Amino acid sequence: MRSSLLLILTCTLGVASTIENPTFGQPETNCAYSQTAPYTTSTCPVIGNPLEFDIQSISISLAGDTVSATIDFNYGGGQSLAPFMDGGVQLQPGDLFFYSSSDPTQQNQYGVALTSSRPGSQNSFIAGDLYQIGGAISLETAATALGDPDAYYRVTQQVLMVDNAGTPNPAATGNGVNVAALGNGASSAEYAVTVQFSAPTGLVNLFQSGSIGVDFAAADCGNAVLDGSAGGFVTTNASPAPEPEGALLMGLGFGIILVVRYLRKRMSRAVN
């Protein structure tokens, strides 16, 4: 006999949420950098030149299963997001990561590649596509990406996805990476970088608590990082309705027939 589900329905209302960086554009003074945690003083959250690394905000929207993300940030490689040199080290943008905001470990579960190449991976990623982290796809830290023990950066920051077991398969195909000029880098970020894709069920499920964790490093040195929960998302779930098994339906049918016959006999006796 067969038991199946008649209905599984998830409905997500269109909602947008933004994580703001409260220190964006503020002067950095009396900076002291270190190669060990916490890596920099509280007055200098950006390690290096803020005009090349600082992140202003990350906006996330969810409508149905369509996720859009816009990152407003400064980047030393220009609007093309090309690699650039800083202190003799070549840098590129980090990937955008998502995690469950209810997970105390804040383990990144999905990532969007902003550029295709990466130094620590044998295979390239497709810019704008979403990838599920795990299995063949792992994350590398800034220390691994740069391999320079003498530079100042957040060595333990997870910055890029890597795959050393064949061409990585996207969990969802995106619409590419759109980069638009925005501001002067001080009062507002230089660039607005937008990605959009239809999210798989696993990523949509991360929104079930009403918020989602977001993690992004402006460059793979982790010199500037914006990490936090984007909230306000509302989802509704209809509970699965089990299909009654055939024998149960037949039994209910016979029971109804017997009850009807009994009631008719009683009514007939009452009339006589």
Per the prediction, the chain carries an average pLDDT of: 84
What band does 2 get if pLDDT is binned at 50, 70 and 90?
very low
- The answer to which of 42-46, 142-146, 234-238 has the lowest mean pLDDT is 234-238
169 and 202 both lie in a single domain: yes
Find tokens 């902003």 and name the residue. 114
User: Which residues form the domain of 265?
Assistant: 245-272
What is the 8-class DSSP label of residue 134?
B
Residue 2 is assigned to a structural domain of this protein: no
212 and 271 both lie in a single domain: no
211 and 139 both lie in a single domain: yes
Radius of gyration of the chain (CA): 27
31 and 162 both lie in a single domain: yes
Segment holding 259, helix H or strand E: helix 246-271
252 and 153 both lie in a single domain: no
Residue 4 is assigned to a structural domain of this protein: no
- Single-letter amino acid, residue 144: T
27 and 146 both lie in a single domain: yes
**C-alpha of 243 from chain center:** 35
| Span 183-222, pLDDT tens digits | 999 999 999 999 999 999 999 999 988 999 999 999 999 9
3-class DSSP assignment, residue 248:
helix
Cβ atoms of 24 and 56 within 8 Å: the answer is: yes
Residue 166 is assigned to a structural domain of this protein: yes
| Span 84-143, pLDDT tens digits | 999 889 999 999 999 999 998 999 999 999 999 888 787 889 999 999 999 999 999 999
155 and 28 both lie in a single domain: yes
150 and 253 both lie in a single domain: no
Instruction: Name 21's Cβ contacts closer than 8 Å, sequence gap at least 6.
Output: 54, 55, 56, 57, 226
pTM of the full structure: 0.81
Q: Per the structure, how many domains does the chain have?
A: 2
| Span 16-62, pLDDT tens digits | 899 999 999 999 999 999 999 999 999 999 999 999 999 999 999 99
Cβ atoms of 112 and 177 within 8 Å: the answer is: no
Residue 78 is assigned to a structural domain of this protein: yes
Residue among 198, 224, 206 at smallest CA distance from 72: 224
